[in-house]
Amino acid sequence: MSGSTWDDSVDVLVIGSGAGGFVAALTAAASHAKVLILEKSDLWGGSSATSGGGIWIPNSHLAQAAGITDSANLAFQYVRALSAENVPDANIRAYVETAAEMLQWLETNTQVRYASIPYTDYEAEVPGGKPEGYRTHLPLPLDGKLLGEEVQTLRPASPAASLFGFINWDWAETGMLLMRPKGWQKTLARILARYAFDIDQRLRSSKDRYLTLGNALLGGLRLASRDRNIDLWLNTRLVDLLTDGARVTGALVERDGKQLRIEARRGVVLAAGGFERNETMRAQHLKISDPRMSGGQINNTGDAIVVASAIGAATMNMDSVWWAPVFSVPGEPRGRLSTMERALPGSIIVNQAGKRYMNEAASYHHAGARMAAANLQGAGTQPSFILFDADFHHKYPVGPLMPLIPDWLQPASARAITLKGNTLRELAAKANIPPDALQATVDRFNEGARNGHDADFRRGEAAYDRFYGDARVAPNPSLAPIERAPFYAVPIYAGDIGTNGGLVTDENARVRNTGGDIIIGLYAVGNCSASVMGRSYPGAGATLGPAMTFGYIAGRHVAGAN
């Protein structure tokens, strides 16, 4: 669609208010471009705000300061081995060679601060992988009071990344309350007091102004964007891209029910997320078509992909997602990611035939993909069941089910999905699982667990398995027998945390058309573009890391800084 008269005019128009979009906006504005960010919902921050905020950045200045030896070449070797064949070397090189630069620029030019942590790569055994970690970086907390009224419209963290589903906590606090070493009660008291004594906020809202994880990242990005006079429009939906011949010149958008034509003199950056909440697109491209099984936020309906495709943009790997096992929790509009409970000692996942079918402690991408692939007639995995005993229930959380709290005091949402039996056979009957098969599965697992060895799936042998295990348990931190009644089972599903197939881009994040040529003036970053990781998930932060890095590349390129 072409355009000649405009309702507004900017140099760079960014569609989407997640981390990738904000970084693109900031880097373009740093080169003196006038920038506008559009967000279609009434909350800003996108899936980035609901996430852990982690970014996978090889060879960062923070890792170097910690004495870690790494290089872009090692990271290229690792990602190249894992990524899809149709992802160009040039795109991977652009990422691994620019990621550290992006992070240093971010810390110099914004209030966002990161820490490099010893979080092992998900495929650390692959050449170029780092078992010791320090490629994953987590954001440091931020005082949300600095945002003023805009803290109220910042999309809240996922319930899976919050204490009781609404109180923000950081990575160290999560570890303290999960493992409960000496002093954990003081940590809990500090978190609760921090929340309760924000009196002004408690009188008006339950929203926590102590920002952590993804909320801290987006809060810092928004503060920096205000400093650079970047406007953010909420409730503004992309309708169409406007063109002049082969060049994108702006966009037709709908704001509060009114259509507007916005000129983008230098270009449009699409950063509007994937299509995981679009049932029609899921049915066309994905194995699991139910959008309720996605952990992606509800506005990710593929708008940018659809609109760009309509003007000839090419797509790639549309059958690919960031897989994840999820819980379907009543009252929550999306799947709740299962990260830690699968690797902790004393739990297993069984299918509807009562049998294990994978290493439960594998990365959520591998576990979710295996769940989807193993969904067979007579041995269904939608749902599977995570099964554990009274000892495990006392020690660790499982989805919305919390430790230490009596069953009758658990949240109603947890009680609604938790099955309980005084014997394994009683539990099997409630889950409609063959009791003999379940008993045999648990007996075999227990025999190996007592010896610290999983003969079937080698659980606990990989570095990632051990990272999420319980270091206090020997000889294998991911294995313990399931033997003390009562026994519990919670349904768990193959889901995702977003799609990662999308628009085809080059090393500068420019969108290509179906003939392979560059569409001048159009860029795409984040989950609306086909991921540089292909169908793989190399480490924690492998979604946001590329989104922000290619946002940095796109912002500089569209503004003429490259």
In a domain, 166, yes or no: no
* Structural domain for 513, as ranges: 1-157+211-320+500-562
In a domain, 305, yes or no: yes
3-state secondary structure of 130: coil
In a domain, 172, yes or no: no
Q: Per-residue pLDDT tens for 99-111?
A: 999 999 999 999 9
The answer on 223 and 286 residing in a single domain is yes
Residue 196 CA: distances (Å) to CA of 92, 192, 230, 258: 46, 6, 33, 41
The pLDDT of residue 3 is 46
The answer on 434 and 366 residing in a single domain is yes
Structure tokens given for 200: 């002004």
- Total domains in the chain come to 2
Instruction: Note whether 469 and 244 are within 8 A (CB).
Output: no
Structure tokens given for 562: 């490259």
Closest CA to 305 of 521, 38, 9, 16: 16
CA Rg value for the chain: 23
Which of 472, 496, 520 marks a domain boundary?
496
In a domain, 285, yes or no: yes
- CATH code: domain of residue 443: 3.90.700.10
Q: Per-residue pLDDT tens for 289-313?
A: 889 889 999 999 999 999 999 999 9
The answer on 456 and 345 residing in a single domain is yes
The answer on 489 and 561 residing in a single domain is no
Task: Give the pairing type, strands 114-116 and 258-270.
Answer: unpaired
The answer on 479 and 467 residing in a single domain is yes
Q: Quote the CA–CA distance of 105 and 31 in Å, as a whole number.
A: 13
Model's pTM, two decimal places? 0.95
The answer on 296 and 409 residing in a single domain is no
The answer on 12 and 93 residing in a single domain is yes
Which of 496, 520, 545 marks a domain boundary?
496
Structure tokens given for 340: 């830690």
Q: Kindly give the interhelix angle for 435-451 and 424-431, rounded to the nearest 10 degrees.
A: 130
Cα dihedral sign, 412-416-419-421: positive
What single-letter amino acid sits at 14? V
What single-letter amino acid sits at 304? A
The answer on 266 and 218 residing in a single domain is yes
3-state secondary structure of 108: helix
For Cα atoms 46, 32, 72, give the angle at the middle one, nearest 5 degrees: 65
In a domain, 191, yes or no: no
Whether cis (ω within 30° of 0) applies to the bond prior to 383 is yes
The answer on 312 and 369 residing in a single domain is no
Which of 442, 473, 496 marks a domain boundary?
496
In a domain, 408, yes or no: yes
User: Tokens 């092992």, residue?
Assistant: 120
In a domain, 206, yes or no: no
Instruction: Note whether 98 and 549 are within 8 A (CB).
Output: yes
The answer on 148 and 12 residing in a single domain is yes
The answer on 516 and 480 residing in a single domain is no
The pLDDT of residue 484 is 97
In a domain, 204, yes or no: no
- CATH code: domain of residue 550: 3.50.50.60
| Residue ranges of the chain whose pLDDT lies below 50 | 1-3
The answer on 546 and 445 residing in a single domain is no
